[in-house]
Homo-oligomer: A and B are copies of this chain.
Amino acid sequence: MIPKGFLFSTVEATIKKPGRKDLSLIYSQVEAYMAGAFTTNKVKASPVKLDMRKIKSGKGRAVIVNSGNANACTGTKGMEDAVEMSELVANSLKSERPLVYVCSTGVIGTPLPMDRIRPKITELVNNLGESSLEDVAAAIMTTDTFPKVIKRRLKIGHKMGVIAGICKGAGMISPRMATMLCFILTDIAVDQETLNKTLHEAVKRSFNRITIDGDMSTNDTVLIMANGMLGNPRITAKSESYVAFKKSLNEVTYELSKLIAQDGEGATKLVEIEVKGARRETDAEKAAFSVANSNLVKTAIYGNDANWGRIMAALGYSGVDLREDKTDIYFGKIKVAGKGLTTGRDEEAGEVLRGKYIKIVIDLNIGKSSAKVLTCDMSEEYIRVNAAYRT
């Protein structure tokens, strides 16, 4: 199941080390409407700067992606290389000035080995159709331990469209994205403005709500391509099918975010932190991030220690409005703290922590807003000290 009209290719360019595909191409047979979201890091990789210019057109035909080298902190040479990659693909594609986007992920500060990338471009273009979306998901991995693919089928009128997303994550995952590359492809026809708005809303509550290690990358990029080959009437914010499209896109980005959190470097558990009862959504988000970024909370989860005191401390320094004597904390369905005090159920809660998917709910009980943040636990050593601290 893939959206109509997309072709894929992967080759080995030995960008960092031999023995793996590290150069990929995503191609739409017709020009697609596109939208993108990019890192807010002030230090941006050259391909990010290039794509930010290209995305203003709202259109595109292809995306070339390399892993193994981020092409970040590489100065004017870096920009020249990104432009050259884009143009080499455009020329090989032989269509009329196709818009080709460029994404890079990997080591920062080392120039791209263009002498190894350049000769592979023709092969990359010629092989279009010989790789699957899953092959691309594997080729864009860096320290990821598994490829990340999420698909949703969606009925638009009588026709069955597809939204398919792939991404890579693992390190440098933080608020406002990560060394996170994500490509979402759909054959559903969507108006460009609507596509852009819907993507940004989806990113806000998914990729922008993951944190693995608090670090934010120079290369984060989310691109969506809607090539309209399903042939449905173009969706706008007023269309009957808009809500369903939006819901499916949100699901794809949220499920991809979960895969990223689950595959955080050294993670053994996926952790979802929900803060509710906050005065405002920004407070809920800030408080949830404070808990999710706490190394002490993450190591306690790794150690199956329902150490809710560390959560209280992290809430306390988050700076948001809260009252200690109103705050409830749950591990799964077990209430470990009520009105800021122990309920004596730490042991039961410790059992909950033995699972692979941990849900922590914090109710501030002073308002009606909520937010969810995804993260993972933190394993070993730094870690052994903290996990052993209480037991």
Residues of B within 8 A of A310 (CB): 108, 215
Would you call A189 an interface residue if the criterion is a C-beta within 8 Å of the partner chain's C-beta atoms? no
Within 8 A of B (CB), among A206-239: 213-218
Q: Give A295 to B109 CA distance when docked, in angstroms.
A: 18
Verify if A147 is at the interface (C-beta below 8 Å from B): no
Q: A73–B214 contact, CB under 8 A?
A: no
State how many residues of chain A have any CB contact under 8 Å with chain B: 62
Q: Are A316 and B265 in contact (CB under 8 A)?
A: no
**B313 lies within 8 A of A172 (CB):** yes
| Minimal Cβ-Cβ distance residue in B for A319 | B42
A322 touches B214 (CB 8 A): no
Contact with B along A374-389 (1 / 0, CB 8 A): 0000111111111001
Give bound CA distance, A216 to B383, whole Å. 17
Contact partner, A316, options B41, B110, B324, B337, Cβ 8 Å: B41
**Which residues does chain B contribute within 8 Å of A174, judged by CB atoms?**
317
Q: How far is B49's CA from A38's CA once the two chains are assembled, in angstroms?
A: 44
Instruction: Find out whether the CB atom of B378 lies under 8 angstroms from the CB atom of A382.
Output: yes
A337 near B171 (CB under 8 angstroms)?
Answer: no
- Beyond A266-B385, A382-B265, whether A340 also contacts B293 by CB under 8 A is no
Chain B residues in 8 Å Cβ range of A324: 42-43, 73
Min distance, Cβ A207 to any Cβ of chain B, angstroms: 15
Bitwise, A309-331 to B at CB < 8 A (1) or not (0) is 11011111101001011000000
Q: Does A390 contact B (CB under 8 A)?
A: yes
A342 within 8 A of B: yes
Cβ-based interface call for A34 (8 A):
no
List chain B residues, Cβ under 8 A from A74.
341
Q: Which residues does chain B contribute within 8 Å of A317, judged by CB atoms?
A: 40-43, 174, 176, 215-216
Q: A218-B316, A313-B43, A380-B383 are in contact. Are A340 and B295 (CB under 8 A)?
A: no
Please name all residues of chain B whose beta carbon is closer than 8 Å to the beta carbon of A142 when the two chains form the complex.
389
**A24 contacts the other chain (CB 8 A):** no
Across the interface, do A312 and B383 meet the contact criterion of CB distance under 8 Å?
A: no
Q: A140 interface residue, CB < 8 Å from B?
A: no
Residues of B near A282 (CB, < 8 A) are none
B382–A266 CB distance below 8 A: yes
CA distance A265 to B74 in the complex (A): 35
- Residues on B with C-beta less than 8 A from A319 are 42
In angstroms, how far is the closest chain B Cβ from the Cβ of A22?
15
Q: Which of A332-391 contact B (CB under 8 A)?
A: 337, 339-342, 378-386, 389-390
A103 interface contact, C-beta 8 A = no
A residues lining the B interface (CB < 8 Å): 40-44, 70, 72-75, 107-110, 142-143, 171-172, 174, 176, 213-218, 265-266, 293-296, 307-310, 312-317, 319, 322, 324-325, 337, 339-342, 378-386, 389-390
If A72-B313, A215-B295 are given as contacts, then 5 extra A-B residue pairs at C-beta distance below 8 Å, sorted by A number, are: A42-B319, A70-B309, A215-B296, A216-B317, A266-B382
22 example contacts (A-B, Cβ-Cβ < 8 A) are as follows: A41-B316, A41-B317, A42-B317, A42-B319, A43-B313, A43-B316, A70-B309, A72-B309, A73-B309, A73-B342, A75-B340, A107-B389, A108-B309, A143-B385, A213-B382, A215-B313, A215-B314, A215-B317, A216-B313, A216-B316, A218-B313, A381-B382
